[in-house]
């Protein structure tokens, strides 16, 4: 129970690998909490890492997973009184930290199917999140899964994907009885952009301001729980009540309202502005220039709710003294399969590095809902594009100009991984290049994996793809197979092979 009962805010955590390597150290910045949304490692504390890297040591480290080494003496090293001082010296003086990684904010991996585009995006996302090289795929997958839904989002574009899915749109309220009404719903891109911007803004602020904002967020969470758990609607005053908690807003209604049966939205962003400006009355609210018109019009209702939230601020809670800047990643698989102009809208301009929140010429746009929107400078966009599905030349030229393109074509040798029957793959691709071009090759992923059966792989995966490329031209595909040294079956459909020619 070291994590829960012994470790405290301000303690130093030293991380090791095995008994001969240190990976870094950091300061504990939060109290113990249990995160039941995780599938594993649910007992948590937040840590702000000071150093990350790889430092070999010349003695055996302790073997236990968690060990309190505070009182350990440095018996084996006369220069240090305490053992932890000795360990920290490795990382301060004679260790070598891993270099930080630098990747473009907007990247598209393009190439034929099976060339490892999606595989590479996960590695790239892990490196961006950790801000260090990540070469092990299992480690990258763990980082990806641990951050999915928070600092990483993964989506796949298709023909029906829309601006409303990506940025913001209106959705019908199906729980409103016979009356038709609509709610504003943020899309996946806006949600992660807002999270990234919040982190970026907090990282630029001083400890006192950060502590204040985090305490208010905690109070808001507790007040939301109170509203949701109450058996009746939460009464703002004698004339109005909160009837529902929506995404980033309360829905409230007056008892004598006749024209607005579904109520109004009280946005959390307005309540946060109250706290930033330390309002003390409804009159203070009306002086603010950074709130919505509804907040100004219904200042009394808003201020009453704000006062209720303040009652939930934890007076004795310890919060981080500073917030560290973090990176965020959205992966868009098959980015060329959607109508880019329709889906991206004003983002076509806003995603440029110099137009981001902290770029040289930051730009904001006003969404159809009237809400201002900016793309943060710590949000990375990674796309994949199958060149056999649509030529790169057909991709929206406005999007092409704003992304860096990294080619992914078949490889016949991979470090630490085996590509089966490379002679067959090379011959197939050589002929395909002659007939269709580089963008229609067969990727090496089709020739990898535990199943090394050439006949099964060709008949179930490769030949169907070739037939699709050549619009079921059996004669053309058969000539490619023969050229690759394969023996095709006679008078069969679909086309099949027996194996390699003797």
Q: Where are the beta strands (DSSP E) in 388-439?
A: 404-407
Domain ranges, ordered by start, for the chain: 2-97, 106-164+326-407, 206-310, 422-500
- For residue 296, the SS3 value is helix
More confident residue, 67 or 381: 381
Give the mean pLDDT of the chain: 86
Rounded CA separation 53/97 (Å): 4
Chain segment 315-325, per-residue pLDDT in tens: 766 655 567 88
The reported pLDDT for the residue numbered 52 is 78
Cα angle 145, 323, 249; round to 5: 75
Chain segment 77-114, per-residue pLDDT in tens: 667 778 888 888 877 644 444 455 689 999 999 999 99
Per-residue confidence band for 274, with pLDDT thresholds at 50, 70 and 90: very high
Phi (first) and psi of residue 144, to 5 degrees: -60, -50
Element housing 256 (H / E): none
Do the beta carbons of residue 90 and residue 74 sit within 8 Å?
no
How far is C-alpha 260 from the chain's CA centre?
38
The reported pLDDT for the residue numbered 1 is 47
- The CATH-assigned architecture of domain 106-164+326-407 is 3-Layer(aba) Sandwich (3.40)
Pairing outcome for strands 47-56 and 43-44: unpaired
Tokens 């079956």 belong to residue: 489
The reported pLDDT for the residue numbered 425 is 96
Element housing 98 (H / E): none
Tokens 């203070």 belong to residue: 284
How many Cα neighbours within 13 Å face the side chain of 47? Answer: 17
């Amino acid at each position: 129970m070291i994590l829960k009962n012994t470790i405290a805010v301000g303690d130093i955590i030293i991380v090791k690998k095995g008994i001969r390597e240190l990976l870094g150290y950091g300061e504990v910045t939060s109290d113990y909490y249990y995160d039941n949304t995780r599938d594993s490692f649910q007992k948590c504390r937040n840590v702000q890492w000071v150093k990350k890297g790889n430092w070999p040591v010349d003695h055996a480290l302790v073997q236990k997973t968690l060990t309190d080494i505070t009182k350990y003496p440095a018996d084996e090293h006369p220069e240090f009184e305490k053992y932890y001082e000795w360990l920290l010296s490795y990382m301060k003086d004679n260790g070598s930290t891993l270099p930080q990684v630098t990747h473009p904010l907007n990247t598209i991996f393009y190439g034929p199917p099976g060339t490892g585009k999606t595989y590479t995006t996960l590695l790239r996302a892990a490196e961006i999140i950790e801000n260090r090289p990540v070469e092990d795929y299992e480690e990258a997958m763990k980082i990806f899964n641990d951050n999915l839904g928070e600092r990483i989002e993964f989506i796949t574009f298709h023909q029906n994907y829309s601006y409303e899915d990506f940025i913001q749109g209106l959705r019908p309220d199906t729980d409103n009885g016979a009356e038709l009404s609509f709610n504003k719903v943020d899309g996946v891109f806006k949600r992660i952009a807002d999270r990234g911007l919040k982190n970026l803004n907090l990282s630029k602020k001083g400890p006192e301001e950060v502590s204040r904002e985090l305490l208010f967020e905690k109070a808001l969470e507790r007040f939301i729980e109170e509203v949701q758990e109450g058996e009746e609607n939460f009464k703002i005053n004698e004339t109005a009540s909160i009837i529902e908690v929506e995404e980033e807003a309360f829905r409230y209604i007056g008892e004598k309202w006749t024209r607005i049966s579904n109520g109004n939205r009280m946005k959390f962003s307005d309540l946060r502005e109250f706290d930033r400006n330390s309002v003390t009355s409804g009159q203070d609210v009306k002086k603010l220039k950074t709130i919505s018109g509804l907040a100004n019009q219904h200042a009394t209702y808003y201020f009453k709710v704000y006062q209720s939230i303040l009652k939930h601020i934890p007076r004795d809670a310890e919060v981080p003294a500073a917030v560290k800047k973090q990176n965020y990643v959205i992966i868009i698989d098959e980015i060329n399969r959607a109508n880019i102009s329709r889906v991206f809208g004003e983002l076509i301009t806003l995603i440029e590095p110099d137009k981001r929140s902290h770029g040289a010429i930051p730009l904001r746009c006003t969404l159809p809902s009237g809400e201002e929107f900016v793309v943060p400078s710590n949000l990375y966009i990674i796309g994949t594009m199958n060149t056999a599905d649509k030529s790169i030349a057909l991709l929206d030229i406005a999007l092409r100009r704003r992304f860096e393109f990294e080619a992914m074509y078949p490889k016949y040798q991979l470090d630490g991984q085996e590509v089966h029957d490379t002679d067959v793959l090379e011959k197939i691709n050589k002929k395909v290049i002659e007939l269709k071009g580089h963008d229609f090759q067969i990727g090496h992923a089709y020739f990898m994996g535990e199943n090394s059966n050439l006949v099964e792989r060709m008949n179930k995966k490769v030949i169907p793809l070739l037939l699709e490329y050549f619009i079921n031209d059996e004669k053309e595909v058969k000539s490619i197979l023969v050229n690759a040294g394969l023996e095709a079956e006679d008078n069969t459909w679909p086309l099949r092979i027996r194996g390699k020619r003797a």
